[in-house]
Amino acid sequence: MEPVRRAVIDVGTNSIKLLVADVAGRNVQPAHEESRQTRLGRGFYETQQLQPDAIARTAEAVAEFTQTAREHKAASIRVIATSAARDAVNAGELTAAIQRASGLKVEIISGGQEAGWAFQGVTTDPELARTPLLLLDVGGGSTQFILGQGERTHFAHSFPFGAVRLLEKFPHSDPPTRGEFTACRDWIKKFLHNEVRPGLEPALRRESGSKPGEIQLVGTGGTTSILARMEAKLDRYDRARMEATRLSLEQVKAHRKRLWSLPLTERMEITGLPKLRADVILTGVLIYETVMAEFGFKLLRVSTRGLRFAAVMG
């Protein structure tokens, strides 16, 4: 099968991401990737209204990425939008602004689609397609939990908590106080117990069966990419080294302790942590640490694939 060059632009709650890839069936070879933080979800969660300046920044980024995709000879360009767009009462303002700026229509995907596509994208990696895994995709506005193996999923759900949403729900001092950390952690623990555990825990038991410990926890999205870069002290994006990184619960906890102890200016100087992500990394790393502790996972693998890799195959 001859590969076809396609592009997908992912309009997320925190950032806009571009993937240009050569696609042949389930074989996806990235040709160009780019990300820009527009913080579409800033100031959103109190009113469920996307703010005009965030809409304008997002539409401009999509237009520029559209031009980049054309320069890379993409035969098709797909624009998808996730949590903030699907929850917004004024999503039409966003889609209209993007269409005016880029000439492209936007697909607002459901939480279920987002979860399923994240798993499909991660398992385009043949190694991850061969093993039972729990995929955790922490976004800005939502977090997807997907349990399965290969093309089979046994649990797939998108939950309305994410790194930007929590950052707005639990504003913090600079540096954060112990009480601010505890309030955020306790909220995550309660949410996991009340909303996630009732469906996920029985599925984990069924999947592990007589082979407990074989299910691998895999993280995809900005937080795990950053943690991998911080762990490996990478000052640039390096897919092979990032995906080779394994993070123990103790390592994740150590990163969280360090990040939550520092003021923003010092976090911005950490190798591997993009300056514009130095605020939202606080809640992202705390979500991963709490999930690992609550569900008994001792090791976290990192995947740089996910939603866009499935969307570009469609």
* pLDDT tens readout for residues 31-76: 999 999 999 988 888 889 999 999 999 999 999 999 999 999 999 9
pTM (whole model) above 0.85: yes
Confidence of residue 101 (pLDDT cuts 50, 70, 90): very high
Q: Which CATH superfamily is domain 125-310 in?
A: Exopolyphosphatase. Domain 2 (3.30.420.150)
**What per-residue confidence (pLDDT) applies to 214?**
85
Omega before residue 175 within 30° of 0, cis: yes
% of the chain at pLDDT higher than 90: 89
Q: Report CA torsion sign: 187, 188, 189, 194.
A: positive
Q: Which of these, 165, 182, 143, 124, lies nearest to 288 by C-alpha position?
A: 143
First to last CA, the chain: 16
Indicate if the pLDDT at residue 4 is higher than 80.
yes
Residue 78 in tokens = 């797909």
> How far is the C-alpha of 302 from the C-alpha of 220, rounded, in Å?
6
Where are the alpha helices (H) located in the chain, listed in sequence order?
Answer: 52-71, 83-87, 91-102, 111-122, 126-129, 163-169, 178-191, 197-208, 222-232, 239-243, 249-261, 264-267, 281-295, 307-311
Confidence of residue 210 (pLDDT cuts 50, 70, 90): very low
**What per-residue confidence (pLDDT) applies to 211?**
58
* pLDDT tens readout for residues 122-134: 999 999 998 999 9
> How far is the C-alpha of 269 from the C-alpha of 110, rounded, in Å?
36
> How far is the C-alpha of 257 from the C-alpha of 277, rounded, in Å?
17
**What per-residue confidence (pLDDT) applies to 18?**
98
* pLDDT tens readout for residues 106-149: 999 999 999 999 999 999 999 999 899 999 999 999 999 999 99
Domain with CATH 3.30.420.150 in the chain: 125-310
Domain with CATH 3.30.420.40 in the chain: 4-109
Give me the CATH topology for the region 4-109. Answer: Nucleotidyltransferase; domain 5 (3.30.420)
